Each structure stands twice: as C-alpha cells, then as structure tokens.
Structure 1
Amino acid sequence: MVNTTPDDRRPPLARRAALALACAAALTGLVGAYTPNLAHAEPSSTPQYSSDFSDCPALPAGADPARWRCEVHTAAPLLTMGKVEVALAPITMTHAEGQMPDGTREQVWGAMHSTPTTVPGGLTGTAAGERTRQLRLTIKPAYGGRSDFYTGQFSLRLRLSSPLLSHGCTIGASAPVDFQLKRSGPSKWVSQDPPVIEFSAYDDTFTAPAAEHCGPLAGPLNRRLGLPAPSGNLMTYDATYTFRTYDQLPSA
C-alpha cells in the first residue's frame, strides 16, 4: 500500500492553489539564492542556414520578380533582460525585399519560427525552480508586428510559459519589445552558390516592459525577472541568411 499524506489527498485544484501560494512566497523571498551567469558564456555558434523558402510572402502588385528576393535568416540570440540571462533557441525569419516600379525599395514580412527555451532558475530563480516541473519557466520569442531589415529594426513579444502561469503570459503584450540592431562587424560570405552570408549584431539600448496576462503571480514574477527594465538590457546574436530572387523560386 502506498502511504498518502493529507496534501496528497487534496483535490488537484487545491494542490495547484497551494503550490501557487508557495511559489509566490518563494518568488518573494528566495530570489537571489540562485544566480546563474551567462555573461561570460561563449556565444552560440552560428546556426546552419535554412534553405526552406516555403514562407516567402506574396509580392506587392506590380513588383518585378527578378528585382525582388526572398531572404531566410536564422539567428542564435543571447538575451540579457532585467535579471534574466538566457541563450534563446534559434529563430528563423523570412521576408521579401526589392524595388517597386517607381524605384522605391520595399519589404514584405513572411514568417518567424522558434521554440521555447528553459529560463535558468525557473519561476523562483532557485535550483528548485529548475528541478520541480511546476516551477519551471520557458520563454519563446514571437514576431511583434514591426520590422525593417534595411535599418535593423524589428520587434518581438516574449511568451512565458509555466504550469502556474496563466496562458498568454507575455513580455511586450501591450506594446512589443523594439530592437534597433547594430552590426558587430562586417558580413562574411560563406558561399556564393547558394548564397550564404554570416553576420553578428547586437542591441544594448532597448527597454524591457513588465510581463502581462500572467495571472495571480504576475507581480512576484516581474520582481523575480527584474521587469520592467528600462536599461541594462542586451541582445546579441550570430546570424546566417540566404536568399533567392522570386524568379528563381519554385512555382507554387
């Protein structure tokens, strides 16, 4: 026979509520007990470029396919934001750019893909936050609705997920996090056929807002993450991209 404690016999909702209260106490009182540091970690190696052009967007009316190209960009970001330092899973972004009949240059957004990354220390910022499933925390970047690849501007929303957080918990929910990327050095052509270019970029000026739509733990969570953070933030990444002009893309 397996022995059960009174806590084991409580209904799942009651156990969840009790754990949420315990977590809130931990978020309030234990932050700082676990301080992983990625500041001196080796940068992520440049990711392999993606040759998947399936997300190339439709061209504007009147655009010449030979004067427009679809770019597929893969990056391995390192993010320091508030009290969090994390190496995000690779992100892949697709967009089109080219010349309109009047000579102006335009861009069209395609798509963005990534996967969740575990935040070191979980919800509590402690070792228990990594070991205990209910206290684990992941972060996943999502396109924020604004991009200009000519100038290095783009925006992200950062989705936070944990069993104890409400669905939709997001950094940048009301207004996305805006980045103004600067090149760390010159681009490097890895291959001419197919065209493959590597570069590194960073932004150390962006503002990180508080997480929203996170439920009862929103306040303690933001204190644990150090949000909002108006300064002291950094996004760096190594990136690779390839491209094809639209007259070279496979027919739909």
Structure 2
Amino acid sequence: MSNTTADGLRTSLARRATVALAGAAALVGLAGVCAPGSAYAAPHATTARSAADFGDCPALPAGVDRARWKCEVHSAAPRLTMGEVTVDLAPITMTHAEGPMPDGSDGQVWGAMHTTPTAVPGGLTGTAAGDRSRPLQLAIRPEYGGRSDFYTGRFSLRFRLLSPLLPRGCVIGASTPVDFGLKRSGPSQWISQDPPLIKFSAYDDTFTAPAAENCGPLTAPLNRRLGLPAASGNLMSYDATYTFRKYVQLPTP
C-alpha cells in the first residue's frame, strides 16, 4: 500500500470515528455512555514480572551501606475510575530500593515498572460498536510518571491510550502526570515470613485526572467520551502484595 493510500485510509477512519463519537453523544449523552461502575474490564493476561523477580533492583547511591538497604518488588491489580470510565487494570509490578543515606535521611531509588494494556469497554465511542469494530477499540496502559515516594505512598503515572486510530503520543497526563497519594485501607498482613510476602490495600479518591493530549483530530471528542479532565469523582483502589531482599542477599554488580 502506498503512503498516500495509507494516509487517506487513516484520515477516513479518523473521520468515521469522529462521526461515531459525535453520534453516540447525540443519541445517549456522553455522561451516560460509560458511567463509573458500568464500564468494567477484568484484568488481562499479563507478562508483567513476578513479584519474586529481583532483576530490576536499581544500583544504589554512592556511599550507602548495602547491608541497610533493601530492594522491594510489589505487584498490584488496581481498579481505576477516571472521568467516566472504570476498569480493572492489568497487574502492575514496581521495583524500587530504599534505605538510609549517608547523612541518615531516608533514601529511595526507582527501579522499573511492568504492565500490559487493558481494554476500555465501549472503545472510542462508548458503545457496542466500539467493542466490535477493531478500528474503534481502545486500550489503556499505565506508565511510570517520573515521581515516587514509597515511604508516603505517593507516585505519579501517565496513561497511554492505544487504538488503531490514535497516534502513539496520545496520553492522559502527557504534560503533567497523574499524582496519587495512597491511603491504607487497613493494616498490612504478613502472608509469609520466608520468603517475606506482605499484603496490603490502599486507595486514593482525591486525585485529579487531566485531559488526554496529543491524540490528533480525535483529542476533543475522545476527552468528551472519557469525561476528561475530571477534578473529582476519581478513584484508585490498590490491592497489592510486596516482597523484599536486602542488597547483601543480591548478586554484587
């Protein structure tokens, strides 16, 4: 297929999606297309790393005592309500290191994050057509937003939106990531002492959800369909387990 033909097809499909989004809004109103609690997707099968995999443990800052630092790996399957959509995200695995700095202050080093996309029910239109038609399907994938503080439960994420009709740069929180401040729902529970495995639940119902950006001609109708930006009514429920190893138990780099 020539570039000219491919560009023409992509433009045609984008116009069809815009018309479909507008038609869905006219017929049922975007506020009712995908109300919180009604748009729901079970976690997909994932290739995210196991909670027992310490391959992403980061290098430590210069001058710290390895014996007093540990690498933590935690895995969660969050449920996210953001704007007008609620989904069960595919499992997320995060790795980081923590321990005392040479001056005695708390130190942390980010490692890595792994997850896979989750389908958004209703796709681009918020209707059955969005589920049936591949060009109108939509998925969401969290990505590390560049800030984390696991002592306080604060971290940031961006959410990449994936569809045949969307450019790769289409992201919720592209300019300013979504900041989460998790609050514990109850005490932690030790599942196992050896190896260590701790279970906890947390949530955040105060974060602000920004608009999607860099989504080409579908940016405005897509944000209307998703109900973004949304200053309130958002919720991250976070059921997780984590394990750890001291750095003296890990292979020396």
Q: TM-score, normalised by structure 2?
A: 0.89
Which residue is 2:238 aligned to? 237
Which residue is 2:157 aligned to? 156
Which residue is 2:121 aligned to? 120
Which residue is 1:84 aligned to? 85
The CA distance in 2 between the partners of 1:184 and 1:134, in whole Å, is 40
Greater radius of gyration (CA): 1
The CA distance in 2 between the partners of 1:210 and 1:123, in whole Å, is 15
CA contact (8 A) 1:28 1:224 kept: no
State the 1:166 CA deviation: 1.3
State the 1:194 CA deviation: 0.4
CA contact (8 A) 2:39 2:121 kept: no
State the 1:49 CA deviation: 5.8
Identity in percent: 68
State the 1:120 CA deviation: 0.6
Residues 192 and 40 of structure 1: CA distance in aligned 2, closer, same or farther (over 3 Å): farther
State the 1:102 CA deviation: 2.2
The CA distance in 2 between the partners of 1:40 and 1:161, in whole Å, is 17
State the 1:167 CA deviation: 1.5
Which residue is 1:25 aligned to? 19
SS of aligned partner of 2:76: strand
- Per-residue CA deviation, residues 181-216 of structure 1 (Å, 9 max, x unaligned), is 000111000000000000001000000000001101
Q: How does 1:24-103 map to 2 (within 5 A)?
A: 24-31=18-25, 32=28, 34-35=33-34, 38=37, 50-103=51-104
SS of aligned partner of 1:30: helix
Q: Pairwise CA RMSD of aligned residues?
A: 2.3
State the 1:14 CA deviation: 3.1
CA contact (8 A) 1:49 1:242 kept: no
- Per-residue CA deviation, residues 154-202 of structure 1 (Å, 9 max, x unaligned), is 0000000111111110000001000000001110000000000000010
Residues 160 and 228 of structure 1: CA distance in aligned 2, closer, same or farther (over 3 Å): same
CA contact (8 A) 2:40 2:88 kept: no
Q: How many residues align?
A: 241
Q: Does 1:188 align with 2:182?
A: no
CA contact (8 A) 2:66 2:247 kept: yes
State the 1:29 CA deviation: 2.4
Structure 2: tracts of 5 or more residues without a match = none
CA contact (8 A) 2:40 2:87 kept: no
Q: TM-score, normalised by structure 1?
A: 0.90
Q: Which moved more, 1:94-103 or 1:48-57?
A: 48-57
CA contact (8 A) 2:74 2:94 kept: yes
Structure 1: tracts of 5 or more residues without a match = 1-9
State the 1:103 CA deviation: 1.6
Question: Which one-letter code corresponds to 2:243 in the other structure?
Answer: T
SS of aligned partner of 1:141: strand
CA contact (8 A) 1:43 1:78 kept: no
CA contact (8 A) 1:79 1:85 kept: yes
- Per-residue CA deviation, residues 41-86 of structure 1 (Å, 9 max, x unaligned), is 7998xx9961111111111111111100000010101000001111
Residues 196 and 25 of structure 1: CA distance in aligned 2, closer, same or farther (over 3 Å): same
CA contact (8 A) 2:182 2:204 kept: yes
State the 1:28 CA deviation: 1.7
The CA distance in 1 between the partners of 2:122 and 2:170, in whole Å, is 18
Question: Which one-letter code corresponds to 1:30 in the other structure?
Answer: A
State the 1:18 CA deviation: 2.2
State the 1:26 CA deviation: 1.4
State the 1:251 CA deviation: 3.0
State the 1:245 CA deviation: 0.5
